[in-house]
Structure 1
Amino acid sequence: MKRILGTLVLLFVWHSTFAQVTHIVFTSDVHFGISRKEFRGKKKVPSETVNKAMIAQMNILPGLELPRDKGAGEGQAIDKISYVAITGDLCNRQQPPYPPAAVSWKQFTKAYLGKLTLHAPLLLVPGNHDASDATGYYKPMKPATDNSSMVGIYNLEMKPAVRTAATFNYKKDKIHYTRDIGKVHCIFISIWPDSEERGWMEKDLRHVAAGTPVLIFAHDPPDGDASHFINPFPPHTINKKDQYQNLLSDTLHTPPTNTYEQEQFARFLQAHPNIRAYFHGHENWNQYYTYSGPSKNVALPVFRVDSPMKGKESASDEQQLSFQLISIDQATLQLTVRQLFWNAKPKKDGGRMEWGDVKTISLR
């Protein structure tokens, strides 16, 4: 009996140790509809094939031992993956010869809802390509608009609300939501924290305790992309001459820079010091950095992630392909982001994984 009780105690301690670390896989810009120039010895490999290869590597994460790097859960085997977060550009812009969003979205769901075996919910936000497919672009697209990926993301994340291609309204049907992941409040927003998204976050944060750490997931980096704002020049349309995309709620104040808009975001961050980190894609490579704002008056830890299709470094060197593993120790509120090269030895063993850069911050 004593031996049985001792075993049960050990099992309880083992489970408690592992259960306190929450793991989130993070990637971005998966761009269904286009092809990589080269992948695992083949030319012009479609995104569907590349993403399925990455998904296969994600599927084997449970049981993988974390490196001893003084980060959250160091030296432990990964118990389970709780979520998979993807910050936009799920579908590529439908500029010929790339297919319509409807086709690319079906490929995305077939891969991520059909091949991912982690039993981990997807946490999705749209990117500028998803949004431009729905609203139009200053270069020819075929069809001119197709809101399939926006509708698909909305229906996956905004439950119980449901939209169809006919009822979805880009300006009104904002894709933004929250998830409380253990003791951490995670906010997922469309494209970038413009005035509408900040207003929505302001209302949300009124119900969040000041001591609760908050993470923001968005497509654009915290310094934004000036071309995503509303065209500041009359008649404020999407056109080839001005090349603004009209994806955000704000008209660009001081073209061609978005310094004014960044200052507004920096003020928001100052008002909410419990916002502890920001995760994004758009310009894709693995980078851990600090956003200080135009006036150098904030210090927000930022995590930029690679793309399987359009990585700044990995597009030309497939061994640099990586995603991130976000690990949160719920007891100590230590957050560690680890880079995982998921295609490190493509010719030898079909893509052995290797650990890359690591960054740990306190969420307290």
Structure 2
Amino acid sequence: MLITKAAFTKLHCVLLLLFLFRQTALCQGKNDGAVINFVYSSDAHYGISRADFRGDTNVAAYKVNAAMIRQMNTLPELTLPNGELVKAVDYLVQTGDVANRMEYPIQSAAQSWKQFEHDYVQSITLKGHDGKPAKLLCVPGNHDISNAIGYPKPLKPLTDPTIMVNMYNQMVKPKKALTNQTYNYQTDKVNYSLNIKGVHLMFITLWPDSAERIWMQKDLDTVARNTPVIIFTHDQPTCEAKHFTNPVPPYQMKPGNKFENLTAEHYKEGVTAAADGGSTEIEQRGWVKFLKLHPNIMAYFHGNSNWNEFYVYHGPDNDVKLNVFRVDSPMKGKYSAKDETKLSFQLISLNTNKQTLTVSECLWNTEPQNPSQKVIIGQTATVSIKVP
């Protein structure tokens, strides 16, 4: 059968279009495979209430967190500043203070964990690029630890390690699961790591104090020195004085000294701690020394003191540079607690091919009275995680 010139030209165009479509699909697939998306939040503080939220007052944390989760579930349809859809979210990260401290009349840690699981596990509909449900990654905060070990002021009950036990079992995955009766905070720290396409993620308990750094060193010994490392934890790089252990024998927590004995490291700059903040320069210098030994630690994410902020940690002597990302809290944000339109979480996009990290502030309550409001992208920062 003879093919006319016109028919041949038409066939050629069709084949060319099919080829271009195939190449575009392959490139798109390659890009999707290179980008890993995380949605990041911290300081859920189940057990307390917000003064104001969406026209109501004294709104319980489980209602506020549930509202935030519903907004997180819309992320696949969110258009990023570069014009691309998010499409998939691979991981959900939460860096502690799942519960508030059990100071009467605040509920038990066990009740808070049930509410947390309902929202952050059962109510999440996000799926990763592999089509599987987004995986939860979490570490404890100071309130979670205090609930497990006690606090200078009596809690009710005095201790409840439910959150620490569940985090340890689900994140660390021991051969034999812990129970509330067998849990020991001194030995059962929620420390773990994972490798994602050439990038190493570390999740550590509270702050990289001298004891945590022993575990971190062993973990980093398994990682090539040119592998980028990203840390997720609860406290900011400066930590807080009151989170260290009382340096005075018998090292007890007492209301007068304000120490909460959350780190194994003893405080070195006095015998009492500031109510908030306080000098930690000596303690930080040990941490900075560790950073200098491991220049492949490229980024640090934290909660504890909550608002959206992208900044560089320089250490007490201005001799180190570490990209740091601070995230807001749905309950205790420095600014969003008073102005609910500033409530935010973060979308972290890790491009493993380009070795870049893009962090976007996701404002999720800019129209409190609008039930169909959309997530709005606020501040965005992209940093290189390529090891120099």
TM-score class normalised by the smaller sequence:
over 0.9
Residue 240 of structure 1 is matched in structure 2 by 255
Indicate which of 207, 212, 217 corresponds to 2:222: 207
- Tell me the residue number matched to 2:138: 124
State the shift of 1:6 in Å. Answer: 4.2
Q: Which residue of 2 aligns with 1:308?
A: 330
Number of equivalenced pairs: 358
Is 1:177 the counterpart of 2:177 in the alignment? no
Q: In the superposition, relative to structure 1, how do residues 142 and 188 fare at CA in structure 2: closer, same or farther (>3 Å)? A: same
- Match of 2:150? 136
Matching residue's letter, 1:244? F
Q: For 2:77, what is the secondary structure of its paired residue?
A: coil
Aligned to 1:324: 346
- 2:133 maps to 1:111: no
**Superposition deviation, residue 10 in structure 1:** 2.5
| Kept in 1: contact 2:78–2:375 (CA 8 A) | no
Amino acid at match of 1:181: I
Distance of 1:75 and 1:329 partners within structure 2? 16
- The alignment status of 1:230 with 2:245, answered yes or no, reads yes
Please state whether the residue corresponding to 2:370 is helix, strand or coil. helix
Report the 3-state secondary structure (helix = DSSP H, G, I; strand = E; otherwise coil) of the residue aligned with 1:301.
strand
Residue type at the aligned position of 1:312: K
Q: Which amino acid aligns with 2:318?
A: K
1:362 maps to which residue?
384
Question: 1:1-364 residue pairs with structure 2 within 5 A?
Answer: 2=15, 4-67=18-81, 74-118=82-126, 119-161=133-175, 162-255=177-270, 256=273, 257-364=279-386
Q: 1:102 to 1:349 in 2, by over 3 A?
A: closer
Give the whole-Å Cα distance in 2 for the aligned partners of 1:349 and 1:49: 14
Asked if structure 1 preserves the Cα contact closer than 8 Å seen for 2:148 and 2:162, the reply is yes
Task: Tell me, yes or no, if the aligned pair for 1:326 and 1:338 is still in contact at 8 Å.
Answer: yes
- TM-score normalised over the length of structure 2: 0.90
Amino acid paired to 2:264 = S
Confirm or deny: 8 A CA contact 2:77 2:86 kept in the other structure. Answer: yes
Tell whether the 8 Å contact from 1:286 to 1:339 is kept in structure 2 after alignment. yes
Distance verdict in 2 for CA 1:350–1:232, change over 3 Å = farther
1:280-301 Cα distance to aligned partner (Å, 9 max, x none):
0000000111111111110111
State whether residues 89 and 130 of structure 1, in contact with CA within 8 Å, keep that contact through their aligned partners in structure 2.
Answer: yes
- 1:179 aligned counterpart, secondary structure: strand
The structural deviation recorded for 1:210 is 1.0
Unaligned runs of 5+ in 1: 68-73
TM-score, length-scaled by structure 1:
0.95
CA contact (8 A) 1:18 1:76 kept: no
Amino acid at match of 1:203: K
* Cα distance, 1:350 vs structure 2: 4.6
SS at match of 1:355: strand
Query: Per-residue deviation at 1:322?
Result: 0.2
Q: Distance in 1 between matches of 2:84 and 2:198?
A: 21
Q: Secondary structure at the match of 2:62?
A: helix
Note the residue ranges of structure 2 that are not aligned, 5 or more in a row: 1-13, 127-132, 274-278
Moved more, 221-230 or 155-164: 155-164
Q: Give 1:359 shift.
A: 1.2
> Which secondary structure does the structure 1 equivalent of 2:201 belong to?
strand
Structure with bigger gyration radius: 2
